[in-house]
Structure 1
Amino acid sequence: MSETSVLRGPVTVRSARPDEYDLVGELTVEVYVGGGMVKPDSGYVPELRDAAGRAAHTDLLVAEVAGEVVGAVAYCPPGSRYAVVAGADEAEFRMLAVRERARGRGAGRALVEACLDRARAAGLRGLRLVTQANMPAAQRMYERMGFRRTPERDWTLDNGVRLLAYHMPL
């Protein structure tokens, strides 16, 4: 499918397959680096690319439209080494990425809803996330979905990148 073709059809969310880990890693780097959210020489790029590593410690989910993987997210249950702000009775999601040409079609929302569904099914108290201050579109989506800012859990990375924390009680 060409990058300029129109995507048609419903969004489907499912677990990523091992044969898709490289694709998910490249998609995540494409979104974060290509979108100007992470510098190409950032030490975070190898972590973004390592979807197989994420899949070993999280539930790595993908969004598909018309058979094409257009987005991904890592759902981090309690105890996951990828959960950085969640408490013992909360889950977290990380590295939400949706290709530019698929935005506005509900893929990001569907991935977040899948994380909410998993947290509810596990009987957890809430779902948390952190997002970079330079991601206003994502912040608007989270707030429309009912997530609320929890600034007491914000922090700034060593490289000066500010991370904003959000929470959805369940």
Structure 2
Amino acid sequence: MSTDVTNRVILREARPEDDKVIGDLLVEAYTTQYARLMPEVVYSEERKAFLRDIASRRNACTILVAEVDGEIAGTVALYPPDAPGSEAWLPRTADLRALATGVRFQGQGLAQPLLAETEVIAKRWGVDAISLHVRRGAKGVARMYERRGYQRVPEGDLERPDVYLEAYLLPMK
């Protein structure tokens, strides 16, 4: 049975000393969740190295962490419009990437405060929308975003050799 920990969450911007914990959290969360929900998904060592390389993305985006009782329990990155690494397909659009909660915190409501904070940041930036991509077949993930008001926008889909990503957009106005 999951316990809601949202009343004990502290949201803050990630610091350089958090990079290893964030990278390990991303790899563990993605490989564990996808292995359970989509066993055909395999993360290459190259992809895992990219997920762990938080430092190289720090200057391009805002990386947030959710702490529970002093432990980093979740993370998300928000790229401003036109930032290196952004996958936004529309101008004046922030791009949400790398949302994850630690395995032992999954199902406890941590994604919601992280997403709410990205929306606050996007409004402060004055963007028109937040974009994101969800791996095709990750129905539960897509439903979570749809419940927050994200709309499916097929023209923003990305097809890569190893994955098809479906696009979603949250208008900010």
- TM (norm. structure 2) is 0.87
Task: Tell me how far 1:88 sits from its aligned partner.
Answer: 2.4
Please give the residue correspondences for 1:40-59 in structure 2 after superposition, counting only pairs within 5 Å. 40-59=43-62
Counterparts of 2:43 and 2:153 in 1: how far apart (Å)? Answer: 29
**Most deviating of 137-146 and 77-86:** 77-86
State the one-letter code of the partner of 2:164.
Answer: R
Counterparts of 2:89 and 2:122 in 1: how far apart (Å)? Answer: 12
Task: Tell me how far 1:42 sits from its aligned partner.
Answer: 4.8
Please tell me whether the aligned partners of residues 54 and 74 of structure 1 are also in contact (alpha carbons under 8 angstroms): no
Please tell me whether the aligned partners of residues 55 and 74 of structure 1 are also in contact (alpha carbons under 8 angstroms): no
SS of corresponding position for 2:123: helix
Task: Tell me how far 1:57 sits from its aligned partner.
Answer: 1.2
Match of 1:139 in 2: 142
C-alpha spacing 1:134/1:46, structure 2 compared with 1 (3 Å)? farther
Q: Which runs of 5+ in 2 are unaligned?
A: none
> Which of 72, 93, 110 is the aligned partner of 1:90?
93
Q: Which runs of 5+ in 1 are unaligned?
A: 1-5
- TM (norm. structure 1) is 0.88
Provide the aligned length of Structure 1 versus Structure 2: 165
Deviations 1:21-69 (A, max 9, x none): 0110010011112222652425322111111112121111101112111
The reply on whether 1:25 has 2:23 as its aligned counterpart is: yes
Over the matched positions of the two proteins, sequence identity in percent amounts to 34
Counterparts of 2:89 and 2:66 in 1: how far apart (Å)? Answer: 24
State the one-letter code of the partner of 1:19.
Answer: E
Please tell me whether the aligned partners of residues 4 and 109 of structure 2 are also in contact (alpha carbons under 8 angstroms): no
Task: Tell me how far 1:14 sits from its aligned partner.
Answer: 0.8
Aligned-residue Cα RMSD (Å) equals: 1.9
Counterparts of 1:134 and 1:32 in 2: how far apart (Å)? Answer: 14
